Amino acid sequence: MTGHPMRTRQIPNQRVACKRNGPMKRIVNRNTWTWSLVALSCISLMLGQLPAWAFGPPQSQQPDSSLQPVLPITDVVLDASGRLVGQIVDQQGTPRHGLVVVLRQGRREVARTVTDSEGRFALSNIPVGLYQLDAGSTRAIYRVWTTQTAPPRSHHQAVLVAETETVVRGNHIEAAVDQLDAITLAMVSSSIAAVTIAGVTLDKVNDLEDKVNALSGGGGTPASP
């Protein structure tokens, strides 16, 4: 009689222990793993967004501080004989003698000449249109007109201010086109260290700078290329 109640008291205890150590424990463990996986997933998603928060927009969307504005376009009128005339001077207004002047449309060379003792030049048989004029390290964009079609405020000659010192250019290369029409200009300047007055310098003008340096360094009268 005395042992039987003790067995009845042990049975509930064993059942309670079974409940605590059996299915309920497995349920608790399952829930713990579930919440752990959810937490890890959330952390992974958050970490995946950290680069965007830390570094801002992609590099392609950030403005390039080295980009220079597009060159302005100047209207100039051909003379009565259809020549494009102009003058090249330095910062002090002194004429640049013997400087190579190249007229281009995109990368296509249209005409080339050398300035005289007064820094003047003339390019013959130039059709109307949009051109880029290179003189030393300086480049300017001109829209060429005839006297009959020119706007009222067009210039009668192209005047450029060319540096006398050697200009060190950046490593960027302009995006140029082969042909420029009379309306649009598809050119982007990315030169970093170039210093200009008539505008901003663009890419290397083939062997133009070497010729200009040779002409400027020599004391005699340069010959036309």
- The predicted-structure confidence for 35-81, as pLDDT tens digits, reads as follows 666 666 666 555 554 444 444 444 544 445 454 456 789 999 999 99
Residue 123 has pLDDT above 60, yes or no: yes
Same structural domain, 50 and 105: no
Same structural domain, 126 and 194: yes
Mean pLDDT for 183-206 is 36
Higher pLDDT, residue 136 or 51: 136
Mean pLDDT for 155-169 is 75
Q: Which domain holds residue 8?
A: 3-54
Q: What is the pLDDT of residue 214?
A: 57
Cα dihedral sign, 34-40-43-49: negative
83: phi > 0 → left, psi -120 to 50 → alpha, else beta; which? beta
Same structural domain, 87 and 187: yes
Could you tell me if residue 122 is inside a domain?
yes
Same structural domain, 94 and 50: no
Residue 27 has pLDDT above 80, yes or no: no
- The predicted-structure confidence for 199-224, as pLDDT tens digits, reads as follows 333 334 445 555 555 555 544 444 44
Q: What is the pLDDT of residue 125?
A: 93
b/e per residue 185-212 (b: at least 16 CB within 10 A): bebbbbbeebebebbbbbbebeebbebb
Q: How many domains does the chain have?
A: 2
163 band by pLDDT with thresholds 50, 70 and 90 = confident
Could you tell me if residue 135 is inside a domain?
yes
Q: What is the pLDDT of residue 71?
A: 76
Mean pLDDT for 161-185 is 46
Q: What is the mean pLDDT of the chain?
A: 66
198 band by pLDDT with thresholds 50, 70 and 90 = very low
Higher pLDDT, residue 103 or 163: 103
106 band by pLDDT with thresholds 50, 70 and 90 = confident
Residue 203 is part of a domain; what is its CATH number?
A: 2.60.40.1120
CB-based contact 95:88 (threshold 8 Å):
yes
Spatial distance between the Cα atoms of 114 and 101, rounded to a whole number of angstroms: 6
pLDDT exceeding 90 applies to what percent of the chain?
34
Token digits of residue 51 = 């680069």
Higher pLDDT, residue 54 or 134: 134
Same structural domain, 49 and 77: no
